[in-house]
Amino acid sequence: MPNSKLTYYKDIESRKVEWLWYPYIPFGKITIVQGDPGEGKTTFILSLLSILSNGEKLPCSDHRISGKAIYQNTEDDNADTIKPRLEKHGANCGNICFIDKQDGLYLEDDELKDSVIRSGAKVLVLDPIQAFIGENTDMNRANAVRPRMNKLKEIAENTGCAIILVGHLNKNSGGKASYRGLGSIDFSAAARSILLIGRSPDNGDIRIVAHQKSNLAPIGTSLEFTLNDGKVEWLGESDISAEDLMAGNSPDKANSKIDEATAVLTSYLANGPKPYHEIMELAKTERISERTMLRAKTGLGVISNKSRNEWYWSLPDE
């Protein structure tokens, strides 16, 4: 006799996805944050955890979430690196903890779920993911990775915790973004959202957070930040995609986006002045950042005039 039963979807109660940070990081699911070494992944994570610990607004959003987090890192020292970075971001360190286990911590360990439940953590971060796979586990084999990711998925679903895995990219420079994650494709298949962090092609001092994969919401707008003395400072939106980041530092990429913005702006202003807010709405629809549109404005010599408490843009007289 079979030991399973059939469940009909009419007996399942629908529920909405809850979000830590819409549309980038959902609660109760797995999110991957990946990028090349030295691009600011860990500092980005510590900035988010600091915001969570204080109940502050999330980057480029009016949404606030407060709560506790577990941050598990195997590459940096907790006393001389992690805590100073948290303090630099103004974190409430009473809301951020780590699992103190001397003989290693792995994805199949019950300590992960138990620690999330005991702490009431809303976020669990494993940084980097390859350190928690196990010494004798081949990350490139699906039959080794899949059961471990399934267990992590169960922890997220049963506790409602947002699980974030931080990973380095492989060395396939210039390859398609979805194939540059380390190990088996089962890592990215299990994640409902993937964020890619890299340097802007037209300014190496600016980091880009690009939404590479999203199963639960539309792909989010890319965001820009800088690292000022080890602290994340958010700049705003960007039109650089995950594939743009994978293409490397190509000036042609940046110039082509400015050319696109110039063409859009020229066409839109051809029939006369337009209000600034309408122009920025158009830019968002065309996936052009405000920064790029302003650069196109400068290149065209667009004139700004204020009328009835609003700025209008118009093309220069012939």
pLDDT tens track for 45-60: 999 999 999 999 999 8
Least confident of 30-34, 95-99, 213-217, 304-308: 304-308
Provide the 10 A C-beta neighbour count for residue 284: 15
Confidence of residue 24 (pLDDT cuts 50, 70, 90): very high
The number of angstroms, rounded, from the C-alpha of 92 to the middle of its chain's C-alpha atoms is: 22
Condensed to tens digits (0 to 9), the pLDDT of residues 245-303 reads: 877 644 555 567 788 888 888 888 888 889 998 898 888 887 787 878 888 888 888 98
User: Class of the 16-246 domain?
Assistant: alpha beta
- Rg of the chain over all Cα atoms, to the nearest angstrom: 22
Q: Locate tokens 């993937």: which residue? A: 194
Q: Which residue from 257, 211, 236 is spatially nearest to 32, judged by alpha carbons?
A: 211
* Whole-prediction pTM: 0.78
136-173 pLDDT, tens per residue?
777 778 788 888 899 999 999 999 999 999 998 876 55
Mean pLDDT on 89-101 = 96
Give me the percent of the chain exceeding a pLDDT of 90: 53
Question: Which residue did the predictor score with more confidence, 306 or 126?
Answer: 126
Question: What local confidence, expressed as pLDDT, does residue 169 receive?
Answer: 84
**Mean pLDDT, residues 72-78:** 93
Rounded Cα–Cα distance for residues 83 and 217 (Å)? 33
Inform me whether the pLDDT recorded for 180 exceeds 80.
Answer: no
CA 21 to each of CA 42, 64, 119: distance values in angstroms, whole numbers, following the listed order: 17, 9, 21
* Domain ranges within the chain, ordered by starting residue: 16-246, 251-314
CB 236 within 8 A of CB 291: yes
To the nearest whole number, what is the mean pLDDT of the chain? 88
pLDDT of 110 higher than 50: yes
pLDDT for 183? 66
Distance separating alpha carbons of residues 272 and 298, to the nearest angstrom: 18
The topology (CATH level 3) of 251-314 is Arc Repressor Mutant, subunit A (1.10.10)
Q: Are 126 and 93 in contact (CB under 8 A)?
A: no
Do 16-246 and 251-314 show the same overall fold?
no
**What's residue 248's pLDDT?**
62
Span of 129-133, 134-138, 187-191 with lowest mean pLDDT: 134-138
In sequence order, the β-bridge partners of residue 33 are: 166, 195
Task: Find the mean pLDDT for residues 86-93.
Answer: 97
The pLDDT assigned to 176 comes to 54
Measured between alpha carbons, how far is 179 from 163 in angstroms, rounded to an integer?
21
Average pLDDT over residues 21-34: 97
Task: Give the pLDDT of residue 122.
Answer: 98
On whether the CB atoms of residues 42 and 73 are closer than 8 A, the answer is: yes
